[in-house]
Amino acid sequence: MKQYVLRRVALAVPTLFLVSVIVFGLMRLMPGDVATRMVEGHAYAPTIDALRRDLGLDRPVHTQYLEWVQGIVLRADFGQSYWTRQPILDEFVRRFPVTLELALLTILVSVVIGVAVGIVSAIRQDTVTDYVGRTLAILALSVPYFGLAVLVVVLPSIYFRWTPVYTYVPFTVDPLENLKILTVPALVFGVTRAGPIMRIMRSALLDVLRQDFIRTAWSKGLGERTIVLRHALKNAMIPVITLVGLQMPLYIGGSVIIESIFRLPGVGLFFFEALTRLDYPVVQSVNLIIAALVVGLNLAIDVTYAFLDPRIRYR
Amino acid sequence: MARRLTLIVLALTLALCAAASPVLAQQPKRGGTLRIAEREAPNLDPHLAVSFLTHSYVNLVYSQLVRFAHGTEQKHGGDFTIVPDLAERWEQKTPTELVFHLRKGVKFHNKPPVNGREVTADDVKWSLDRFMTKSGFRARFDPVQSVDAVDKYTVRITLKEPNAPFLNHLANSSYTAIMPKEAEAQFKDFNRPEAAIGTGPFVLKGYDKGVRAVFERNPDYFVKGLPYLDSVVIEITPDASARASLMRAGKVELIQIYGHASIEEGKAFQKTNPEIDLHLLTVMAQGMIYFRTDQPPFNDVRVRRAISLAIDRKGWNDALLYGEGCLVSGPVPCAMKDWRVDPSKLEPAKAKYLGGYDPAEAKRLLAEAGYPNGFTTPAFHWPGYAPPWRSYYDLVADNLSKIGITVELKPEEYGKYISTTYLGKFEKMAIGPVTPFTEVDDFLFGSYYPEQPNNRSHVADAELNKMLQAQRRELDPKKRKAIVEDIQRYLADKAYYVYLPSSAQYQAHPKYVKGFKHHDGYGLGHKLMFTWMDR
């Protein structure tokens, strides 16, 4: 067991190394350069040279890479933003709870809506209810969440002089205000993500409802509610959970736009601003931290499997 | 008779008083909070950032030696008259020596570790020296030989050679904030809210990163009675549609630090929100076609003139800019009224190559230059500029197609565009706007002098160079103005750049916001100093 865990940990190292090289390389391959981006129109040759020197961009690329990696490995120092000159890790830690809360609320909304509509559609297959449910799912799938977000922000401001954009308050300071602020973004994002969940839910449930054990249940004389909720649903949920897991990166990725429109100071916005400003260290380090989180999560899952199922250890 | 005269005078006086009463009602009121929706400033240290957002935020907090006229002091939004700030007066001792006399008794904000101590000449020297070593803009002070504190209230700046634009740079809030050195000693730099300690009209009271910045009136501000506002809050809002919605919903007073709305946005506000006050402004904006004038076909002045004559500026203005734009946006921008020579004041035979429309003549010129059937050229550009810019590129292509020139539009990603095309590194032809500067020298010397990064058209003209240098060295404002006007006369028919119409902007805010006057500099604090709330 110990050996297995050690081997898995050792495997994570080359993965993260590759991520670091790719991210570092990609940033440098992007057209343009951060010094000229910073001065925008106020460019004078001496200004740009001076800025490059200040930022350490005048040194060879491999030196810059080694310095970045060394800082992380030896001192857990993920570097500073070129623009804000603030430590990246501090900023990430400060902003991560916002993005995590948004992602969790979004998942909650999309699962509740998707599962409920999916169940109704499946048990009322080929009725008007089913068609309405399926149409809604296709609509949710085809409306881009960023478009919906803009409409939700702009339209009520024109017609009702009201807009669901607030000044962010952390959950720890005022939980009710915090939930009020996050409800609309989570609803907008969650509704558009509910589409695929509804479709998977419906087809999985239809599949299960045709199986022998369900027929047995019917013949025992059990009621519809018991059959669907107690027997069929549990079995049909497996692909839904897999889908939610697979969509996890989408929730983080989508937070970029949602956070920007609804003024939420999360990681998505931090990353997006850094990307548009060619803030190399921020993009590199945030990418690497997220990659490390994903690798860490997978590692934890693998280790849990190994713990639960001894056969995995010896494979 | 005398009694009747007295009565008439009395009646007239009463009538005048009655007429004047609305003016009396417009006496500024103290109090209130002004909320601005704007993107976040990347940094709070004005020397560690070159972003206009940083410089606008911290302009509420810091003062300079001198500044531009604002509010009730300014004649128009492009007025760059220099007025006292921390220096109550200054003298040009010799062509290379400027002496500034500081106001006495000006105190820094009452925040530790400075705790409201008096500003002295040492602070000014320390801040300007820090600017010259740390700022990304330090090349702006290349003409400076030294900064010396002569005594507690006197600062001497010695230049290497006479430089007329220098005082304007000194007044530009992007460059020369006066800061206390104790704050740097304690906080390492000025990039944190506690370290933002200046002598400006507002004190930074709270800053929640990514959320909002709260500024309160400086009770000890050295201009008595100002500012009027109790506080200013910047609600950090990255998205433009969210910013406009916040104003519609009455949650902010300005949708960006300039309080601007595009013409389209302004027209939309007119329809949906009659309570929003809209003023049309000529803002510092310039749009142009630029060329490799060092290579064929654009090294031939006839080709460049043909292109200028092919642009239907009036039709363009009517169709795209609601007829509110300025037809020829250069060489000196329309908003720089004190320096600009309007094309109508130029010799018509030459001015037609600056703003005229004559496709037949354009075709004739092309044929004369050896292109009777026109030619094909790329046009590099960044499609992301705010509307109406996207339509500009199509209009150039359309206008030029009528004289036989096929334009292949080449959109570029922003990072690439701003570090290559924008700095003159492109092939043949490009289209775009330029940065709004505060000094006329930047639009002339910067755009036309060899080796300048903003000389996008690769102009190298010996006769012009002499004039460009001369206006830089001429310290007499009247004589300098004459040279700048000569330069414009000289440039009229050269078509090194083909200037396009520039769009007007609306200034938009609720009617109860008074005294917020548009200015093309970066002095947000100076604008807000004169702003008040009528409610």
Q: What is the ipTM of this complex?
A: 0.82
Phi, psi of A101 (to 5 degrees): -65, -40
Residues of chain B contacting residue A156, judged by C-beta atoms under 8 Å apart: 249
Q: Is the pLDDT of residue A98 over 90?
A: yes
- Out of B42, B48, B423, the one facing A43 most closely (by C-beta) is B423
Band (A94; pLDDT cuts 50, 70, 90): very high
Residues of chain B contacting residue A262, judged by C-beta atoms under 8 Å apart: 242
- Out of B211, B248, B418, the one facing A158 most closely (by C-beta) is B248
3-class secondary structure, B471: helix
3-class secondary structure, B190: coil
Residue contacts between A and B (CB atoms, under 8 Å)? 147
How much is the pLDDT for B17?
Answer: 47
Compute the radius of gyration of chain A from its Cα atoms: 25
Q: Whole-angstrom Cα distance, residue B357 to residue B375? A: 20
A20: left (phi over 0), alpha (psi -120 to 50) or beta: alpha
Q: Is the pLDDT of residue A305 over 80?
A: no
How much is the pLDDT for A84?
Answer: 82
Q: Closest by alpha carbon to B53, among B139, B170, B174?
A: B174
Of A176-180, A211-215, A310-314, B429-433, which range is least confident? A310-314
Of B119-128, B256-265, B365-374, which range is least confident? B256-265
Tell me the pLDDT tens digit for each residue of B231-249.
999 999 999 999 999 999 9
How much is the pLDDT for A46?
Answer: 62
Residues of chain A contacting residue B242, judged by C-beta atoms under 8 Å apart: 153, 163, 165, 261-263
Contacts of A27 (CB under 8 A, 6+ apart): A278, A280, A283, A284
Band (B5; pLDDT cuts 50, 70, 90): low
How much is the pLDDT for A234?
Answer: 83
Who has greater pLDDT, B428 or B9? B428
Tell me the pLDDT tens digit for each residue of A144-173.
888 999 999 999 999 999 999 999 999 999
The residue length of chain A stands at: 315
Of A4-13, A187-196, B274-283, which range is least confident? A4-13
B413 — contact with chain A (CB < 8 Å)?
A: yes
| Mean pLDDT calculated for residue range A206-211 | 91
How much is the pLDDT for A27?
Answer: 87
- Out of B43, B51, B272, the one facing A158 most closely (by C-beta) is B272
Who has greater pLDDT, A307 or B117? B117
| Mean pLDDT calculated for residue range B508-522 | 94
Q: Is the pLDDT of residue A247 over 80?
A: no
How much is the pLDDT for A231?
Answer: 87
C-alpha distances out from residue B97 to A11, B148, B155, B159, B348, Å: 68, 11, 10, 6, 42
Of A45-49, A69-73, A148-152, which range is least confident? A45-49
Band (B19; pLDDT cuts 50, 70, 90): very low
Q: Whole-angstrom Cα distance, residue A86 to residue B193? A: 13
How much is the pLDDT for A312?
Answer: 62
How much is the pLDDT for A149?
Answer: 94
| Mean pLDDT calculated for residue range A248-261 | 83
C-alpha distances out from residue B347 to B314, B335, B362, B488, Å: 20, 22, 19, 11
Measured in whole angstroms, how far is the alpha carbon of residue A141 from the centre of its chain?
17
Of A51-60, A116-125, B50-59, B440-449, which range is least confident? A51-60
Q: Whole-angstrom Cα distance, residue B179 to residue B63? A: 8
How much is the pLDDT for A56?
Answer: 84
Q: Is the pLDDT of residue B293 over 60?
A: yes
Residues 163-182 of B with CB under 8 A from A: 174
Task: Search chain A and give the residue with CA nearest B274.
Answer: A158
Helices (H) and strands (E) in chain B, counts: 17, 20
Q: Is the pLDDT of residue A133 over 50?
A: yes
How much is the pLDDT for B1?
Answer: 47
Who has greater pLDDT, A140 or B86? B86
| Mean pLDDT calculated for residue range B435-445 | 92
Bond into A170 cis (ω within 30) = no
Q: Whole-angstrom Cα distance, residue B12 to residue B57? A: 49
Q: Whole-angstrom Cα distance, residue A183 to residue A159? A: 21
Q: Closest by alpha carbon to B138, among B52, B66, B56, B46?
A: B46
Contact B209 A42 (CB under 8 A): no
B272 — contact with chain A (CB < 8 Å)?
A: yes
Amino acid at site B250: G
Q: Closest by alpha carbon to B139, among B103, B113, B165?
A: B165
- Out of B211, B413, B451, the one facing A265 most closely (by C-beta) is B211
| Mean pLDDT calculated for residue range B461-485 | 96
Q: Whole-angstrom Cα distance, residue B95 to residue B100? A: 14
β partners of residue B289: B431, B498
β partners of residue B36: B234, B254
Band (B339; pLDDT cuts 50, 70, 90): very high
Give the distance from residue A280's alpha carbon to the nearest chain B alpha carbon, in angstroms. Answer: 13
How much is the pLDDT for B4?
Answer: 58
How much is the pLDDT for A307?
Answer: 74
B235 — contact with chain A (CB < 8 Å)?
A: yes
How much is the pLDDT for B11?
Answer: 53
Furthest-apart CA pair in chain A: how many Å?
Answer: 86
Name the average pLDDT for chain A: 87
Q: Whole-angstrom Cα distance, residue B3 to residue B23? A: 30
How much is the pLDDT for A185?
Answer: 95
Contact A263 B235 (CB under 8 A): yes
Give the distance from residue B32's alpha carbon to the nearest chain A alpha carbon, in angstroms. Answer: 19
Measured in whole angstroms, how far is the alpha carbon of residue A83 from the centre of its chain?
25
Of A153-157, B2-6, B225-229, B323-327, which range is least confident? B2-6
| Mean pLDDT calculated for residue range B509-529 | 95
Q: Whole-angstrom Cα distance, residue B429 to residue B426? A: 7
Contact B235 A167 (CB under 8 A): yes
Band (A43; pLDDT cuts 50, 70, 90): low
Contacts of B522 (CB under 8 A, 6+ apart): B52, B55, B56, B59, B172, B173, B174, B438
Q: Is the pLDDT of residue B14 over 70?
A: no
Q: Is B14 buried (19+), middle (13-18) or exposed (0-12) by CB count in 10 A?
A: exposed
Q: Is the pLDDT of residue B170 over 50?
A: yes
How much is the pLDDT for B23?
Answer: 46
How much is the pLDDT for B139?
Answer: 79
C-alpha distances out from residue B432 to A129, B264, B413, B453, B459, Å: 55, 20, 13, 15, 17
* DSSP letter string, A86-115: SBHHHHHHHHHHHHHHHHHHHHHHHHHHHH
Q: Whole-angstrom Cα distance, residue B497 to residue B291? A: 7
Q: Closest by alpha carbon to B305, among B257, B364, B238, B252?
A: B364
* DSSP letter string, A29-80: HSSS-HHHHHHTT---HHHHHHHHHHHTTTS-HHHHHHHHHHHHHHH----B
| Mean pLDDT calculated for residue range B163-171 | 95
* A41, two tokens: 């129109």
3-class secondary structure, A297: helix
Model pTM score: 0.86
Give the distance from residue A153's alpha carbon to the nearest chain B alpha carbon, in angstroms. Answer: 6
Contact A153 B245 (CB under 8 A): yes
Label the pairing between strands B429-433 and B287-291.
antiparallel
Name the average pLDDT for chain B: 92
How much is the pLDDT for B245?
Answer: 96
Band (B419; pLDDT cuts 50, 70, 90): confident
Q: Which long-range contacts (CB under 8 A, 24 or more apart) does A12-21 make?
A: A12/A295, A12/A296, A12/A299, A15/A291, A15/A295, A16/A288, A16/A291, A16/A292, A16/A295, A19/A287, A19/A288, A19/A291, A20/A65, A20/A68, A20/A69, A20/A284, A20/A288, A21/A65
Residue B208 per-residue DSSP state: E
Contacts of B417 (CB under 8 A, 6+ apart): A32, B380, B381, B382, B432
Band (A245; pLDDT cuts 50, 70, 90): confident
**Token pair 């509610």: residue:** A225
CB count within 10 Å of CB B366 equals: 26
Who has greater pLDDT, B513 or B263? B513
| Mean pLDDT calculated for residue range B482-488 | 97
How much is the pLDDT for A237?
Answer: 85
Q: Whole-angstrom Cα distance, residue A309 to residue A313? A: 8
A85: left (phi over 0), alpha (psi -120 to 50) or beta: left
Q: Which residues of A234-245 are buried (b: 16+ CB within 10 A; e: fewer)?
A: ebbbeebeebbe
* DSSP letter string, B327-354: S---SS-TT-TTTPPPGGGS-HHHHHHH
**Token pair 């951060």: residue:** A34
